């Protein structure tokens, strides 16, 4: 039996997936489950949906997103961050799993605590390197991230160059 492919996510990266063309479909190629703390699910549906269930049904992700309680006290280093980031980083520490996070302050603290981090652009590159996306698909996704201002020019140009060299 194959081990499940798991990752933890903060709210921002899931919002990015919502807005991308087939964003959740793309991330399913890489992961069986995305573990999120309860606060992240609350942040996702607030203001748009009447309930968490409505959000999960709308995006057809009830089988992809799994809410997991944070069992440990939040590390003091995390206190300056918002509660969703705190819980996501703590959950990544608790489970020893990589974390999808885009906010720079959260990324910095997560790195300092030894958490492996990535953004959606990094996941596009990973999917391309694992032959789960063609070069054209990867370039289209990177362009979409760039034009929606989810990645900056430097990151975009660097990743495009990498894909073109290997594609």
Does residue 108 belong to any structural domain of this protein? yes
CATH code, domain with 78: 3.40.50.1010
Per-residue model confidence as pLDDT tens for the chain (167 residues): 458 999 999 999 999 999 999 999 999 999 999 999 999 999 999 989 999 999 999 999 999 999 999 987 888 999 999 999 999 999 999 999 999 999 999 999 999 999 999 999 999 999 999 999 999 999 999 999 999 999 999 999 999 999 999 87
Cα separation, 16 vs 102, whole angstroms: 10
Q: pTM score, two decimals?
A: 0.93
Q: Domain range holding 31?
A: 6-118
pLDDT at position 144 is 97
pLDDT at position 33 is 98
107 lies in the same domain as 125: no
Does residue 83 belong to any structural domain of this protein? yes
73 lies in the same domain as 51: yes
53 lies in the same domain as 125: no
128 lies in the same domain as 73: no
pLDDT at position 1 is 44
pLDDT at position 2 is 57
- Write the CA distances from 48 to 55, 68, 139, integer angstroms: 8, 22, 30
Both structure tokens of 29: 């190629």
44 lies in the same domain as 92: yes
147 lies in the same domain as 95: no
| Tally of domains within the chain | 2
104 lies in the same domain as 89: yes
Does residue 1 belong to any structural domain of this protein? no
Cα separation, 156 vs 74, whole angstroms: 34
82 lies in the same domain as 148: no
pLDDT at position 167 is 74
């Amino acid at each position: 039996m194959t081990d499940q492919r798991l990752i933890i996510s903060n709210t921002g990266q899931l919002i990015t997936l919502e807005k991308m063309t087939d964003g959740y479909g793309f991330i399913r190629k890489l992961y069986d489950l995305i573990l999120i703390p309860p606060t992240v699910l609350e942040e996702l549906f607030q203001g748009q949906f009447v309930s968490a269930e409505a959000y999960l049904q709308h995006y057809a992700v009830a089988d992809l997103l799994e809410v997991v309680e944070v069992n440990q006290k939040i590390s003091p280093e995390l206190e300056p961050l918002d509660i969703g980031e705190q819980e996501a980083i703590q959950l990544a520490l608790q489970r020893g799993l990589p974390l999808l996070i885009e906010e720079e302050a959260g990324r910095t603290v997560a790195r300092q605590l030894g958490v492996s981090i990535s953004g959606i652009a990094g996941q596009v590159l990973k999917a391309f390197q694992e032959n789960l996306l063609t070069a054209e698909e990867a370039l289209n996704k990177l362009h979409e991230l760039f034009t929606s201002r989810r990645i900056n020019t430097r990151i975009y140009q660097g990743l495009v160059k990498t894909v073109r060299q290997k594609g």
